[in-house]
Amino acid sequence: MTVSFDRVADVYDKTRSFPPRIMKRVVKALTEELEGCRTILDAGVGTGRYAILLQNSGFELVGIDVSRKMLQKAKQKGVANLHLADARYLPFNDLYFDATVCNHVLHLIQEWKTVLREITRVTRHIFLSTTYGSPNPISEAYEELLKKYAFERRKRGISEAQLGNFLKPTRFIAAVTNTPVKADKTLTMFEEKACSRHWDVPNHLHSQILKDLSPFCRKNILSRYSGSCLEKRDFEAVP
């Protein structure tokens, strides 16, 4: 099973995007690690927030996603080569790409090992993923409240941060540190159920948790957590 973001395509960028200066630093780190590569697959391209910047940096980029509406947003940004496709069944020949980029996708897919096998199959050299050094503190508070109310989540995939337990990175790059987290922006995302982790939480429970979070957020108007990191896997170095 995989997850389509059609339902939140219209609000996704508003609730997810880094400030431009931070996004610029993340993409700069990506392009430096992709030096020597020409063809890039963005597996789970979404609205194209990474893809358009990589494309504009001169890479021949192909983006795939299971969400038609997210692909429409990417097309509006100017991403040229987009395909409606499932990362579990990539429609490309073996070793078709020099590198694959996969950002915040694996936690959505129950068959994430299948996705990894497919990425390995179509990629010649490098697999890059972005992750967070530590979670958003408001998201952590939400998860603790779910435990308090004895709600058990349905298991999906794994986070990129856990990927190292199965396919160790050959290089770890801290692209951005001390990323600011605004409580009001996080709460807006939660209220709109723009985060897939909230979709299986019943509405009445979700509303109660948001009420419980209000005092916490007033005390944490602006908090900080460790920012965006890159994990690089050089397939030529992986046994």
- Residue 116's domain comprises 6-133+155-177+226-237
Residue 173 phi, psi dihedral angles, 5° rounding: -125, 120
Average pLDDT over residues 159-168: 73
204 within some domain: no
pLDDT at res. 40: 96
User: Could you tell me which residues come within 8 angstroms of residue 159 by beta carbon, excluding any fewer than 6 positions away?
Assistant: 106, 107, 131
Q: 65-68: long-range contacts at Cβ-Cβ below 8 A with a sequence spacing of 24 or more?
A: 66/2, 66/3, 66/4, 67/4, 67/5, 67/6, 67/9, 68/6
18 or 89, which is more confident = 89
Question: Quick one: pLDDT at residue 238?
Answer: 42
Asked, for residue 66, whether it belongs to a domain, the answer is: yes
Among residues of the chain, what percentage have pLDDT more than 70?
A: 82
Q: What's the total number of domains in the chain?
A: 1
- Is 72 inside any structural domain? yes
Q: Is residue 116 part of a domain?
A: yes
Q: For residue 96, give the CATH number of its domain.
A: 3.40.50.150
Instruction: State mean pLDDT over 210-226.
Output: 67
Confidence band (pLDDT; 50, 70, 90) for 176?
Answer: low
Can you say whether residue 82 is alpha, beta or left, with left for phi > 0 and alpha for psi between -120 and 50 degrees? Answer: beta
**CA dist., res. 230 & res. 132, Å (int):** 9
Which pLDDT value is given to residue 219? 60
The per-residue pLDDT for 74 is 97
**What are the pLDDT digits (tens) for 96-148?**
999 999 988 888 898 999 998 999 999 999 888 877 666 678 888 899 999 99
**Mean pLDDT lowest among 48-57, 96-105, 157-166, 228-237:** 228-237
Q: Cβ-count burial of 126 within 10 angstroms (0-12 exposed, 13-18 middle, 19+ buried)?
A: buried
With respect to residue 162, please indicate whether it lies within any of the assigned structural domains. Answer: yes
> Which residues pair with residue 82 across a beta bridge?
63
Within-domain flag for 214: no
In the predicted model, is pLDDT for residue 35 greater than 80? yes
Contact 210, 198 (CB under 8 A): no
What is the identity of the amino acid at 157? G
| pLDDT level of residue 57 (50, 70, 90 thresholds) | very high
Average pLDDT of the chain is: 84
Contact between 57 and 23 (Cβ < 8 Å): no
202 assigned to some structural domain: no
pTM of the predicted model, to two decimals? 0.85
Better-predicted residue by pLDDT, 66 or 192: 66
Residue 117 lies in a domain: yes
* Residue that is written with structure tokens 């697959």 in the block: 41
